[in-house]
Amino acid sequence: MSSSLIFRPTHVSHDKEVFIDGTVFPSDAFTFSPQLSYTSLDGTYIKVPPLCHAVLTGSKEDVQAILTDSERTEQFQRDLDYALFFANRSKDSVKAYLLSSAGANPGRPFSPNGLHGAASQGLQEQIGYYVLCRNVPVDVRDETLLTPIMYAMGLDSPHDWDTIKYLFKLGASPVAKVCDSGYTYAQIARKRGKEELAQKLETYKARVGPLCKKSVYCVEWKNPKKYTIPRIGVRYTHPEFPNEHWDDTSYQLVPGDDYLWEEANRMWNEERALRRLRKRLRRTCKSDK
């Protein structure tokens, strides 16, 4: 396949130009009419607002300075949401945290957002957090009507399928059409030269319906006085397939989720009680010898 560069306008305030390696937005590499075609891109020149530019080229202090000094307008909120896309695409968890703490919406519709950025890099923990805790629609579309699955398709094998399968398990539709073109995910993958991925997409059994939160299954909370936000895991089940084993999703416990706080505390106390019981049993066994 041929490769090229692309100059891409954006829907946000145009301020500073930056060059980003590879294909940033999947739609830039495709032509859907009059027939489907794909061109691998060496990079993308794009004009972005100052906050996005700081995320891509600056330090965390640069990002924090803009967040502190900027007036909270609707335009700034759009820039903030857009910046989260670039932070996740860059796998910069520190900058992503700063943006999220400032109120970035990871599921802004009709815009590249935090979920799209996480999907483009296979960040399953972030994907799970956005969908299950922030209630982001798993099939949220960007400005060109592309879903997170299209972003995940740009990953190398086997990470592309691992991420796509995870999105399916979170409720993404395997039969969704790309844009308004009528093309399937399998057709897109095949055009990209990913025959194995195309076959998996064609044979995947659709499981329609959301996952249901079932229970906390572990708590990594060695010292609750030192770590105020424990890391936990939550097991989810599918309402139509309750007996099947689904992948577990680990994420940080979210303040305000009373159910998880209650479960985490209960399990922590139960674990301490079990440790005390084991110690007593060991002492009893030693004294009997």
pLDDT of 274 > 90? The answer is no
CB contact at 8 A, 235 and 250: no
244 vs 272: which has the higher pLDDT:
272
Q: What's the rounded Cα separation, in Å, for the pair 166 and 122?
A: 10
In the chain, domain spans: 3-203, 212-288
Joined tokens for residue 248: 């577990």
Angle, helix 50-57 to helix 60-69, in steps of 10 degrees? 160
Output the pTM of the full model: 0.70
Q: What's the rounded Cα separation, in Å, for the pair 223 and 276?
A: 16
pLDDT per residue as tens digits for the range 40-88? 999 999 999 999 999 999 999 999 999 999 999 999 999 999 999 999 9
Joined tokens for residue 79: 């820039």
The confidence score (pLDDT) of residue 239 equals 47
Superfamily, domain 3-203: Ankyrin repeat-containing domain (1.25.40.20)
pLDDT of 156 > 70? The answer is yes
pLDDT of 248 > 50? The answer is no
Q: What's the rounded Cα separation, in Å, for the pair 62 and 85?
A: 17
Q: Do strands 40-48 and 3-8 pair parallel, antiparallel, or not at all (unpaired)? A: parallel
215 vs 179: which has the higher pLDDT:
179
- DSSP letters, the chain, are --EEEEEE--SS---EEEEEES-SSGGGGEE-SSS-EE-EEEEEEEEE-HHHHHHHHS-HHHHHHHHHHS---HHHHHHHHHHHHHHHHTT-HHHHHHHHHTT--TT-TTS--HHHHHHHTT-HHHHHHHHHTS---TT---TTS--HHHHHTTSPTTHHHHHHHHHHHTT--TTPPBTTTTB-HHHHHHHTT-HHHHHHHHHPPP--S--EEEEEEEEE-S-TTT-SS-EEEEEEEBTTBTTS----EEEEPPTT-HHHHHHHHHHHHHHHHHHHHHHHHHHHHHHH-
What is the pLDDT confidence band of residue 2, given thresholds at 50, 70 and 90? very low
| Closest residue by Cα to residue 119 from 210, 202, 53, 185 | 185
Joined tokens for residue 4: 């090229």
Mean pLDDT calculated for residue range 29-43: 91
**140: Cβ–Cβ under 8 A, 6 or more apart, which residues?**
107, 109, 113, 115, 116, 147, 148
Phi and psi of 46, rounded to 5°? -145, 140
Mean pLDDT calculated for residue range 248-267: 54
User: Over pLDDT 90: what percentage of the chain?
Assistant: 55
pLDDT of 163 > 80? The answer is yes
